[in-house]
């Protein structure tokens, strides 16, 4: 990957916005940014229902919430404020620099929240967690 790209770089790849996390071996780790208002509303509605059920002692909702599909960060970075960085299915085949466009960077607050979520979620690949710990 290009030297301009590091943890927290926002890229456009295959007509979608992603946050570059790391490249480890043959895998590029990217967090997808969910910008569509309907998708965000559906996702957050489902998450909030599970969280509410979990707080009232439900065992299955607690298991569901530990899945990486509910591993996310709400962004406050300019141009992405209120969007969701989804940390489910992070690994991608290595993308070439020629396929990537529109570099920008997460703000420090979002980068910190993203690192925390990546380190604390048990469903995240251990090699990615170990790498993220070296950045802190």
5-36 pLDDT per residue, tens: 889 999 988 788 999 988 888 788 888 899 99
pTM metric for this prediction: 0.78
Average pLDDT, the chain: 80
Angle at 7 between CA 42 and CA 16, to 5 degrees: 40
Give the Cα separation of 79 and 133 in Å (integer). 27
CB atoms near residue 29 (< 10 Å): 23
Coarse DSSP helix, strand, coil percentages of the chain, rounded to the nearest 5 percent: 40, 25, 30
């Amino acid at each position: 990957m290009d030297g301009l790209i590091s943890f927290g770089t926002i890229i456009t790849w295959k007509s979608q916005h992603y946050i570059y996390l790391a490249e480890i071996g043959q895998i590029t780790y990217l967090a997808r940014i969910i910008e569509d208002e309907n998708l965000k509303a559906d996702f957050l509605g489902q998450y909030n229902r599970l969280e509410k059920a979990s707080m009232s002692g439900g065992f299955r909702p607690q298991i569901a919430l530990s899945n990486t599909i509910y591993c996310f960060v709400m962004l406050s970075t300019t141009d992405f404020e209120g969007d969701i960085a989804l940390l489910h299915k992070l690994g991608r085949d290595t993308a070439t620099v020629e396929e990537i466009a529109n570099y920008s960077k997460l703000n420090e607050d979002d980068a910190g929240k993203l690192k925390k979520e990546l380190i604390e979620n048990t469903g995240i690949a251990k090699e990615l967690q170990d790498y993220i710990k070296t950045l802190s």
